């Protein structure tokens, strides 16, 4: 019986911890966070990630308020692919800007390789700051002019890769 209990404990200890619910992560950053909208992004018909937007009290998105965005991945994606896609989307949304490379370099330590079920949460409590959490653990806090809105607009802007997903997230 003791051997069986020991094996069970060892198996549990070897099992990777799953992400905290996005709401719990966001609520740690700013209290009163509630779900505003949810959507699944598909590429060529295959799910890439499910996104959930959290705002204070579940209210309308306002860049004057804290914001949290959770992405739960359905596919494996490398860290470098995430960084490259981020810079590419910033360039697509904003045109060529001198600081895109700087932002990309600041984000490199934030990202991790993702596998099915992994979660990133991005939060912003000020216009110039983004915090990223991977499976519930904070990976970084990045400061850069207007980075909060600029980064999250990759998913939330009407000019995002998927305007329908953006509208669903914003609850509209």
In 57-128, the DSSP E strands lie at 67-73, 119-126
Residue-range domains of the chain with CATH? 19-170 (3.50.70.10)
* Distance, CA of 38 to CA of 27 (rounded, Å): 17
Q: How much is the pTM?
A: 0.86
Query: Each residue of 116-156: pLDDT tens digit?
Result: 999 999 999 999 999 999 999 999 999 999 999 999 999 99
Check residue 20 and give its pLDDT. 64
In this prediction, residue 21 carries a pLDDT of 86
Closest C-alpha to 150, from 102, 108, 114, 112: 102
> Which residue stretches of the chain have pLDDT < 50?
1-19
What's residue 172's pLDDT?
67
3-state secondary structure of 150: helix
Nearest to 68 by CA among 148, 123, 20: 123
In the block, tokens 């359905």 appear at 74
Contact predicate 68/22, CB 8 Å = yes
């Amino acid at each position: 019986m003791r051997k069986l209990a020991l094996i069970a404990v060892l198996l549990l200890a070897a099992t990777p911890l799953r992400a905290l619910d996005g709401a719990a992560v966001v609520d740690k950053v700013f209290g009163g966070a509630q779900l505003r909208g949810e959507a699944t992004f598909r590429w060529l018909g295959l799910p890439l990630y499910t996104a959930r937007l959290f705002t204070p009290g579940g209210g309308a998105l306002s860049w004057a308020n804290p914001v949290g965005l959770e992405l739960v991945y359905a596919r494996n994606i490398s860290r470098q692919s995430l960084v490259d896609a981020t810079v590419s989307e910033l360039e697509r949304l904003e045109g060529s800007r001198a600081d895109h490379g700087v932002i990309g370099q600041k984000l490199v330590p934030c990202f991790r390789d993702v596998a099915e079920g992994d979660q990133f949460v991005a939060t912003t409590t000020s216009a110039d700051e983004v915090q990223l959490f991977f499976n519930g653990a904070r990976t970084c806090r990045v400061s850069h002019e207007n980075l909060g809105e600029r980064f999250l607009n990759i998913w939330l802007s009407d000019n995002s890769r998927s305007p329908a997903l953006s509208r669903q997230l914003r609850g509209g």
